[in-house]
Amino acid sequence: MILLMLFMNTTLFFESYFDHAEINSILVMQCDGTVLRVNNAFTKNYGYANEDIQGKNFEILFIEKDKAESKPQMELKTTMKFKQSQDENFIVNKNGVPVWSTGETVLVNGGEGKQYMVKDIINLQSKRQIQLFLNQTEELLERVFESSKEIPMMILDGSMKIMKTNEAFAKLFHLENMPAAGSRLADIDHPFWSGSTLRTEMTNILVTNQPLRNKKYLVKGKDGNSKTILINTRIIEGNIDSGKRIFVIVDDVVE
């Protein structure tokens, strides 16, 4: 009796999760990959209603390249062997558009000793997931900025004015004083930041909305010696209060 009640409670829990999940797209299938049903989140994220996909093999969700590499079959075999598998790949939606996703497939025991597979997928291209990623990225950058003594960083506002720099930045460019908040790049007490070419490239970040990626520069120090640095930038679209910010990350290249 106790086991029966436990089974019923577990079933009710899954059904509630299946029905009410909004981010987690869930697909229930037989162990050969035949789809039995999908939840509303799956329909919302990938377009397939139950009548579109029921009875079909889940391999229709894979891009042609992955099919050619037998990834659907490999996923089934791995799940059967280890009771679970994980993947991060494209899921082809109802309109034939590949959507970058991550998921987990779990082998579960149903009634009468039957086994099924439950595939739980998250659409990484959804607006909600992208916003979550950006929020986490911003928080991570803030933490690195405040705590790191090894990564030179500077934060600029939407008008390319300096918001703040960290100690590692001041050390790399041999600054006696931290640049004042609201000052310009040309106000940094180092010849590298007063160059017109660099200022133009930094301004173009805002104009084109394209960050700098491992952009290499030769920097001549105050002592006359030259060294190579790499600059990466990350644009963070803030709210009305914080506005747009540009994180400038500098890497001192050892040659």
- Does residue 144 register a pLDDT over 80? no
Q: Which of 60, 91, 124 is the last residue of a domain?
A: 124
Across 82-86, 130-134, 222-226, the highest mean pLDDT is recorded for 82-86
Same domain, yes or no: 174 and 192: yes
Whether residues 248 and 133 fall in one domain: yes
Euclidean distance between CA atoms 53 and 60, whole angstroms:
9
pLDDT tens-digit series, residues 145-181? 776 777 888 999 888 999 999 998 999 999 999 999 9
Q: Are 91 and 112 in a shared domain?
A: yes
The CATH number covering residue 154 comes to 3.30.450.20
The residues that bridge with 26 in the sheet, in sequence order, are 120
CA distances from 21 to 41, 90, 158, 235 (A): 6, 21, 38, 32
Out of 74, 95, 124, pick the residue that ends a domain.
124
CA dist list (Å): 134 to 36, 63, 127, 130, 238: 35, 27, 11, 6, 10
Question: Look-up: residue for tokens 């405040």?
Answer: 146
Angle, vertex CA 63, rays to CA 60 and CA 65, nearest 5: 130
> 168: buried, middle or exposed (CB in 10 Å: 19+, 13-18, 0-12)?
middle
Say if residue 159 is in the same domain as residue 113.
no
Query: Are 120 and 168 part of one and the same domain?
Result: no
Q: Examine the domain organization and report whether 104 and 182 are in the same domain.
A: no
CA distances, 183 to each of 18, 156, 180 (Å): 54, 10, 6
> Are 246 and 135 in the same domain?
yes
Q: Do residues 50 and 29 touch, judged by C-beta distance below 8 A?
A: no
Is residue 199 domain-shared with residue 141, that is, in the same domain?
Answer: yes
Strand, coil or helix: what is 207?
A: helix
Same domain, 223 and 138: yes
Instruction: Rounding to the nearest 10 degrees, give the CA dihedral for residues 41, 30, 118, 58.
Output: -50
- For 75-122, the pLDDT digits (tens) are 999 999 999 999 989 999 999 999 889 899 999 988 777 999 999 999
Q: Which of 86, 102, 124 is the last residue of a domain?
A: 124
Task: Specify whether the CB–CB gap between 25 and 42 falls below 8 A.
Answer: yes
Number of structural domains found in the chain: 2
Q: What is the mean pLDDT of the chain?
A: 85
* Residues 163, 197 within the same domain: yes
Q: DSSP string spanning 149-201?
A: SSS-EEEEETTS-EEEE-HHHHHHTT-SSPPPTT--GGGSSSGGGG-HHHHHH
- In this prediction the pTM is 0.52
Are 81 and 180 within one domain? no
Residue-number span of the structural domain to which 193 is assigned? 129-252
Cα separation, 61 vs 59, whole angstroms: 5
Confidence bin at 239 (pLDDT 50/70/90): low
pLDDT confidence tier of residue 133, bands split at 50, 70 and 90: low
Residues 89 and 140 reside in one and the same domain: no
